[in-house]
Amino acid sequence: MHQDIDKILFSQEEIEAKTAELAVQLKTEYADKKPILLGLLKGSMMFMAELMKKLDIDLQVDFLDVSSYEGTVSTGDVRIVKDLGMSVRDRHVLIAEDIVDTGRTLEKVIELLRNRGAKTVEMVTLLDKPETRKAPIAAKYVGFMIPKLFVVGYGLDYNEKYRNLPYIGILKVSVYT
């Protein structure tokens, strides 16, 4: 365990098992829809890669890099850093996300995709933190519900660190205070 981690919340094995469960649901729902699996960078990378390995359906992959965080706080100002590389018009879009926190970023992304003519927009997230929600959104497919904790690893970061940890851990308060 990394020295800055207080406790491991979910092991790599637990994450992989939960991702397999989500993939079973998604294969049923999207088998004939040829969805675009849309990763929100950078946090979704590890989860999305694990999910893709388990989705043996016809799909396309794209990424959107959006940012609204400074340190541990969501500013509410959502910026598009890297836009989509393909059209979503008349397509089923499945957003892969690492964590649904305030929901502000996802609210803006969903609005953007709908304005661009997506046929449907749904979310699959590894983690959901409903206590911190500020926007009225909900992921249709959720791996783990978590309380109000600051977590890192498996793609999640604090100031661009800890993304490469193979588990999700609770960051020691002393690191970010």
Q: Determine the Cα–Cα distance for residues 23 and 25; give it in Å rounded to an integer.
A: 5
Element (H, E) at 16: helix 12-30
**DSSP state, 155?**
T
- In the set 58, 90, 101, 157, the catalytic residue is 101
- Contact criterion met (CB below 8 Å) for 50 and 165: no
**Closest to 88 in 3D by CA, of 111, 49, 67, 118:** 118
- Own/partner contacts of 112-119, CB < 8 Å, gap of 24 or more, are 112/80, 113/38, 113/88, 116/87, 116/88, 116/89, 117/87, 117/88, 117/89, 117/90, 118/88, 118/89, 118/90, 118/91, 118/92, 118/93, 119/90, 119/91, 119/92, 119/93
58 is catalytic: no
Active site residues: 101
